Structure 1
Amino acid sequence: MMMSQVKTARAPSHSRASMRSTRCQAATTTSKHTVTKSAEIMKEAQDLLPGGVNSPVRAFKSVGGGPIVFDKVKGAYAFDVDGNKYVDYVGSWGPAIVGHASDEVNEALIAQLAKGTSFGAPCALENELAKAVIDAVPSVEMVRFCNSGTEACLSALRTMRAYTGREKVLKFVGCYHGHADSFLVQAGSGVATLGLPDSPGVPSASTAPTLCATYNDIESVREIFKANKGEIAGVFIEPVVGNSGFIPPTKEFLQALREITEEDGAVLCFDEVMTGFRISYGGAQEHFGVTPDMTTMGKVIGGGLPVGAYGGKREIMDVVAPAGPMYQAGTLSGNPLAMTAGLKTLEILRRDDRAGYKHMDRQTKKLVEGILELGKKHGHAMTGGSISGMFGFFFCEGPVNCFQDAEKTDTAKFAKWHRGMLEEGVYLAPSSYEAGFMSMAHTDEDIEFTLKAADKVLASL
């Protein structure tokens, strides 16, 4: 997207004054009517959906208060069923990188809609998106599309086991790779948010082959490989952690991990469901210059529609059926709508020498540095950082290099912060253990509005 288009592709214009007015009007309405539309919908949902939601973090359990029920989204904004407008830094948990409901993406989807929503058969769009992914992601020589990040990761795990003939897998404490049985061991994301132990319903036999190391601690990895020499099929890692809050790796840690896995004959898989096409066009592996054997993807490559993908070296992917014996299938895999949205989104990201990434990097740094400075001004222990359009911060002294460090964050203070920012018209992830996301649609005015809100809320904590 051209930068001029980024700056002008906004939802219906609202000045900061009118945004504050909207919030005040909402507060007045709420005081007159004790039950909002959001509350009414969530009350009904309690009898229809487990916990009233279809994904745990949406329930606001760790931050308190009632969840916000969205009505529509556009650009950098979300609008709830009560008519309130929010500057949105969740972005559907990452996919809305070019902005919500992009006109270009929507037009492509409408054109495809007339041709059909699901084929259950090959379509040319699969080839086109596959070529775009292979061209962009250094590790990917072949790719298989599926329907979610969870499906991509569980399929990649099965693939690496089939390829190596080994069963054990190493992951890192606090890293989340979807809700497949093998990965629900010391996981981050909603598991950490809700304070849950390893999930009930997961057989001990499923997690027995799962080994856990400490993120950014290469010696913990060496010790595990030494104790399990020649037995580890592969390593799964979030190359930038987004499910324990935002935690970047050191490049040296990733390089050493690459060396250890190569020496042992284990497969190294970067879980780039979150970082893929977000922190750079080629993902974290392009950003850090470390190439894994396999990569899992999702979110951005679906342009807002459900999608997942796993890929890697040709020799590894050749074990996947029907080319090889490792079975994996999906009725909606390669769905033409998801392929269309993904293709158009990647086209926008490639445009104008990838100017959108420069825009997101600039805006994200301005936001995070501004919030940390305001935290210092008001006497709060805070630390945080960003890479391109992905960011996060913690209410504790830094640095935060792993999940154990992240656990030191003041979750009670974060809950107050979250509710305060929501009241000011800023929508942040409702968890201390989730990263935030910037889009190409966020403007200087949005950042200024957010920092002014942060100043007010931090002063009140």
Structure 2
Amino acid sequence: MPGGVNSPVRAFRSVGRTPFFVEKAKGAYLYDADGNRYLDYVCSWGPGILGHAVPSVVEAVQKACENGLTFGAPTEKEVELAQLIQSCVPSMEMMRLVNSGTEAVMSAVRAARGFTGREKIIKFTGCYHGHSDGLLVKAGSGLLTGSVPDSAGVPAGYAAATLLAEYNDIESVRRLLEENEGQVACIVVEPVAANMGVVPPEEGFLAVLREAADASGALLIFDEVITGFRLGLGGAQGYYGVTPDLSTFGKIVGGGMPLAAYGGRRDVMSCVAPCGAVYQAGTLSGNPIAVTAGTEMLKLLIAHPEIYAQIDQSAARLEEAYRETGLTVNRVGSLLSPFFTREKVRDYQSVMTSDTAAFARYFGWMLEKGIYVAPSQFEAMFVSAAHSAEMIDMTCDMVKEYGKSGMIL
């Protein structure tokens, strides 16, 4: 395996360490192969909103496995999950289940191109939408962590069709739309940027994006792979009150298993095969085991909406502790990032003022104290319902202790 891992950030190279290998997880904890226990604020990069190995989810999956692992044919469970998603996110009038966030965004962009008959797309510097060729242009997440601004192996033609705007800078969007009038199929955005660390949209930014897309004839795509069902049952679009034309969901919608979804306006999604000429397929799409996990997870969240107030409150307490150290902290709901910079972080340029060497020292110190945060300055912290008040207290104490060590910046 390249780097000994199956996804780059797991290699711990940016923090100068050797990764631990997980043996099991339960509740708010990870247990590694050497017998160490870590309080987990990565939560498998988001889906562990209720913690690890939720009993009812595990039980439902085990029962589903008895009936077979994959069929390559329709099941009633796929319809049930789609109905649950639609009940929470009304903009998802028609949808397709796929296997990953990368596949979901790639497919949504293809649908937008097919519907509009246009080729160009607008994305934002530092926003990550998976590793499909056309979206690996000034992306966030592992590309920032590994100090790779773009990926090798991406044809120039793909990059030429991807126009770069600056997050939280609506004028950069308007300029691109004017310069490429009638050519832009879609604007794709993380409604809360969470792959260059957490960077919230400034007031009115998403609403003005909606207006700009409408005025230009482009579609607006919200990549809610991280924010979907984490900021609330309605995702970021419910949180901010802005409705996109298409949305992508992942992470929580699979209950911790490989599953994602894309969808939105019925007229746009009717362009997808077999109803229309936009082709997308997958033998494992809507896999019955992953769908079972996702369905059980969403049912739990729908039945217990008070979970959102709990995890938001926990994250707010962590935010306060980090602020006491003098760091810049961004938080939206249960997503947060402490940035090792004194500057206000509102876009890619301000994110890049962060001291990554200082972050690496902090990461190592926290890990040695038994607290696992994302091994990158450019990733989010995730809080789960399994994080008890006592766990949050302990973490806040460790953060404050580190702040007094003189090693912050």
Q: CA deviation at 1:61?
A: 1.1
Q: Indicate conservation of the 8 Å contact 2:321/2:400, yes or no.
A: no
Q: Which runs of 5+ in 1 are unaligned?
A: 1-48, 377-381
1:83-131 per-position Cα deviation (integer Å, ceiling 9, x unaligned): 1111100000001111100001001111111111111100000000000
Alignment match, 2:380:
435
Alignment match, 1:187:
139
Alignment match, 2:75:
123
Q: What SS does the aligned partner of 2:171 have? A: helix
Q: Indicate conservation of the 8 Å contact 2:322/2:329, yes or no.
A: no
Displaced runs of 4 or more, over 3 A: none
What letter matches 1:238 in structure 2?
Answer: E
1:98 equivalent among 50, 54, 65? 50
1:79 equivalent among 27, 31, 36? 31
TM-score w.r.t. the length of structure 1 is: 0.87
Q: In the aligned structure 2, how far is the partner of 1:193 from the partner of 1:404?
A: 15
Q: Does 1:372 align with 2:332?
A: no
Max radius of gyration: which structure?
1
Q: Does 1:300 align with 2:245?
A: no
Alignment match, 2:172:
220
Task: Trace 1:338-349 onto structure 2 (pairs within 5 A).
Answer: 338-349=290-301
Alignment match, 1:406:
351
Q: In the aligned structure 1, how far is the partner of 2:84 from the partner of 2:395?
A: 35
1:320-371 per-position Cα deviation (integer Å, ceiling 9, x unaligned): 001111100001000011111001101111114x010011011110111112
What letter matches 1:459 in structure 2?
Answer: K
Q: Which runs of 5+ in 2 are unaligned?
A: none
TM-score w.r.t. the length of structure 2 is: 0.98
1:47-78 per-position Cα deviation (integer Å, ceiling 9, x unaligned): xx111000000001111111111111011111
Q: Indicate conservation of the 8 Å contact 2:118/2:183, yes or no.
A: yes
Q: Does 1:239 align with 2:199?
A: no
Q: Does 1:173 align with 2:130?
A: no
Number of residue pairs the alignment of both structures matches: 406
What letter matches 2:86 in structure 1?
Answer: I
Q: Indicate conservation of the 8 Å contact 1:138/1:291, yes or no.
A: no
1:369-405 per-position Cα deviation (integer Å, ceiling 9, x unaligned): 11221x13xxxxx111322221112011232111111
Alignment match, 2:107:
155
What letter matches 1:450 in structure 2?
Answer: T
1:331 equivalent among 252, 261, 283? 283
Q: Does 1:317 align with 2:272?
A: no
1:15-42 per-position Cα deviation (integer Å, ceiling 9, x unaligned): xxxxxxxxxxxxxxxxxxxxxxxxxxxx
Alignment match, 2:365:
420
After superposition, the CA RMSD in angstroms is: 0.9
Q: In the aligned structure 1, how far is the partner of 2:349 from the partner of 2:395?
A: 29
Alignment match, 1:357:
308
